[in-house]
Structure 1
Amino acid sequence: MPSFETGSPETLAFLRKRRSHPSVTMTDPGPDDTQLQDILTIAARVPDHGKLAPWRFILFRADKEGKRIGEWLAAHYERKTGPLDADQRDKELTRFTRAPVVIGVVSTAADHPKIPLWEQQLSAGAVCMNLVTAAAASGFASQWLTEWVSFDMEAARFLGARDGERFAGFVHIGTPTQPPFERPRPNLSDLITNWTETD
């Protein structure tokens, strides 16, 4: 008889309590190369109709690229919106230095004769959630963010997106400096219905 893995109470307990940490509360260390490889391997284990892998990863490290990226983003945002106040400027300058590692998840979804675009985009979203969960299970703080840089085409290109691609989000990973705050969760009874046939 083949042996199959069974459920784990510890895993379920972890998933019930998993919580994102604000990136501004993260510090060093982040995952090393071996840990990152494992986290990304887990992130890639998602539903993927047609085995297209319609996503890819871009790694940003605070101590290497973070300052340069922040300077560009601050200047670009100022060109778009006008002069920045001190708080907004600092927010842009530190956007990629708050956490030791930021992983950009790029959706490469494209028209396909059999696989709907929406299914490919959903797969990229699943990668982001797996990435957040894998980082947390590895003992790190993690947060999935999008914000304006995901939707501004010039910023996306500067951050590595190619023609036809878009960022599904940026997952910030580091060491927590404080416990995460629990937030109100939806009332499941408001979200669940049993199907009934209608005329």
Structure 2
Amino acid sequence: MEALEALHNRVSVGKLTDPAPTEAQRQNIFRAALRAADHAALRPWRFLQVEGEERRKLGELFLRAAEAENNGPLPEAKQEKTLAMPLRAPLILVAITRLQEHPKVPYIEQHLSTGGAVQAMLTAAFAEGVGAYWRTGPLAYNPVVAEGLGLAENERVDGFIYLGTPAKPPRQAPVLATDDFFSHWKAP
């Protein structure tokens, strides 16, 4: 797929199934992340791969975190839903920013760099025919999840990227008018 075609037509694919991306597809997706804009070449991102039975363990971690947040057990339906969250796709990437003190690169720029890496992976996945979507939510920022994932004190989860085979063909990307978002600045 041509680069501009992927950039213009990428959409999130929410219904995913087996198989997970192949090793060759993963390498193309991962290499795309490494080209993200990165002030001072800090490379503030890292990614954990979660697949197979580890997804069930991630669901158990999510449940512990949600129950800690709730100060007690969740209703049974909510427990089941929380446990099943990581089973939405055969592969999950946990996007993590390693925050580093730097005189010219504030933390927000480091998070934005991780976001750029995630966006590059989503576009590469689309180009490879792999379905993908990015989720955050309260569990991404939960200290129980951070500890369970083994994050260092200076690391933060910036989201979960779900990857797999699209269960149905991806929807068409909406056509948006660039003039609605881009204008010329006129100095006062």
Distance of 1:187 and 1:35 partners within structure 2: 32
**Match for residue 13 of structure 2?**
21
Give the conservation status (yes or no) of the 8 Å contact 2:6–2:126.
no
Q: Could you say which structure has the greater relative contact order, defined with CA pairs below 8 angstroms and 6 or more residues apart?
A: 2
Correspondence 1:66 to 2:55: yes
Alignment CA distance shift 1:38-1:180 (3 Å): closer
1:6-155 matches, cutoff 5 A:
10-22=2-14, 25-61=15-51, 63-81=52-70, 82-155=72-145
1:159-170 matches, cutoff 5 A:
159-170=149-160
Distance of 1:51 and 1:38 partners within structure 2: 21
Note the C-alpha offset of 1:78: 2.4
Q: Structure 2: any 5+ residue segments left out of the alignment?
A: none
Distance of 1:42 and 1:143 partners within structure 2: 16
Give the conservation status (yes or no) of the 8 Å contact 1:131–1:171.
no
Bigger drift between 152-161 and 128-137 goes to 152-161
Distance of 1:184 and 1:76 partners within structure 2: 36
State the secondary structure of the residue aligned to 2:40: coil
Distance of 1:16 and 1:190 partners within structure 2: 16
State the secondary structure of the residue aligned to 1:97: helix
Listed one character per residue, the Cα deviations across residues 85-122 of structure 1 (whole Å, up to 9, x for unaligned) are 34422221112121111011111122202323222221
Give the conservation status (yes or no) of the 8 Å contact 1:144–1:170.
yes
Distance of 1:50 and 1:135 partners within structure 2: 27
Identity %: 34
Alignment CA distance shift 1:98-1:190 (3 Å): same
Give the conservation status (yes or no) of the 8 Å contact 2:59–2:84.
yes
Give the conservation status (yes or no) of the 8 Å contact 1:49–1:119.
yes
| Structure index of larger Rg | 1
Q: Structure 1: any 5+ residue segments left out of the alignment?
A: 1-7
Distance of 2:104 and 2:122 partners within structure 1: 30
Q: What is the aligned residue count? A: 187
- 4+ aligned runs moved over 6 Å, structure 1: none
Alignment CA distance shift 1:182-1:89 (3 Å): farther
Quote the RMSD (CA, aligned, Å).
2.1
Give the conservation status (yes or no) of the 8 Å contact 1:143–1:171.
yes
